[in-house]
Structure 1
Amino acid sequence: MSEIAYVRGDATAPSVKGVKVIAHVCNDGGGWGNGFVLALSRRRPEPEAAYRAWHRGRASNGFGLGALQTVRVERDVWVADMIGRHGVRRAGNAVPVRYDAIDAALARLADRALDLGASVHMPRIGCGPAGGEWSRVEPLVTGRLAARGVTVTVYDHGEG
């Protein structure tokens, strides 16, 4: 079983060799505009366009909580949109994160990463605007990805 590697840096620009998947959590409401996706969109327009098209066709394309879409953005770089957040805003004390949906999407991501022979790179998914707790997400990442031999790097943004 692999361990999760934690580094300081920018998850939108992994610098390791080989095929890479940049994974992040999206909402099920079609909104793209806060958190990690802003940094992602500054580097590449394709993920936002693909997510919006996926959402528009949601009646027939599997879009919904727990779903996964991968978008190729470079020869050896993919972006994985994981639907793990219900809505875009907190409702009272309820946070948008859906741990069961993140778990389901991570299982799909593991299959995709293994098919591609890719490493996975991510921020602390589900823990920004989605309102999740890393202490609940980390075991999902470990169990679904690292336990299957997928190399995972989690990026904490910052200097150094």
Structure 2
Amino acid sequence: MKTVTGDLLALAMAGKFDAIVHGCNCQCTMGKGIALAIKTQFPEAYQADLKTAKGDKDKLGTISTALIERPGAKFTVVNAYTQLNWRGRGVLADYDAIRAAFRQIKATFARQRIGYPKIGAGLAGGDWDVIVAIIDEELAGEDHTVVEFKPA
């Protein structure tokens, strides 16, 4: 896993990634954090989320995708369903769902440049050290980068 500091969405627009991944809840909200930024800047990703069943626990560990094409930029946004809900206290991140989603990401985006924020470790309250180990294991051998957010 590589680590860089910056804005994941700006880096994607600059052609640094073929796919960017963010953690979603299963409620089709995309209402806070990077999910809200993606919903605003890339509404195609929100439309992909809305095509899934709201509140469906079976979405955990799956993904939905949206191809983003803008002048000078082409990449895929991956909505990874890594938590059931956004409400509540404590750890909302589901480590098994993170593992399953990243296994599917590797199968779908092998040999591509994959970028993501600290999925599950922000608003979802997960332990980044646990999540890093999962991602590194599931994306072994792939070109993948965590982007620690720093506004431009």
Determine if the TM-score, normalized by the shorter chain, exceeds 0.5.
yes
Matched, 1:51 2:68: no
Rounded to whole Å, the distance in 2 between the matches of 1:69 and 1:132 is 22
Task: Give 1:13 deviation, angstroms.
Answer: 2.6
Rounded to whole Å, the distance in 1 between the matches of 2:151 and 2:74 is 26
Q: What TM-score comes out, normalization by structure 1 length?
A: 0.82
Q: Deviations over 1:45-79 (max 9, x none)?
A: 110111012235x6xxx961111112111263001
Matched, 1:67 2:62: yes
Q: What TM-score comes out, normalization by structure 2 length?
A: 0.86
Paired residues, number: 147
User: Runs in 1 of length 4+ with deviation above 4 angstroms?
Assistant: none
Residue 35 of structure 2 corresponds to 37
> What amino acid is the match of 1:70?
T
- Structure 2, unpaired ranges of 5+: none
CA contact (8 A) 2:7 2:151 kept: no
> What amino acid is the match of 1:112?
T
CA contact (8 A) 1:123 1:156 kept: yes
1:48-127 equivalence runs, <5 A: 48-55=46-53, 64-74=59-69, 76-91=74-89, 94-114=90-110, 117-127=111-121
Alignment identity in percent?
29
1:132-143 equivalence runs, <5 A: 132-143=126-137
Rounded to whole Å, the distance in 1 between the matches of 2:24 and 2:149 is 19
CA contact (8 A) 1:54 1:63 kept: no
Residue 20 of structure 2 corresponds to 22
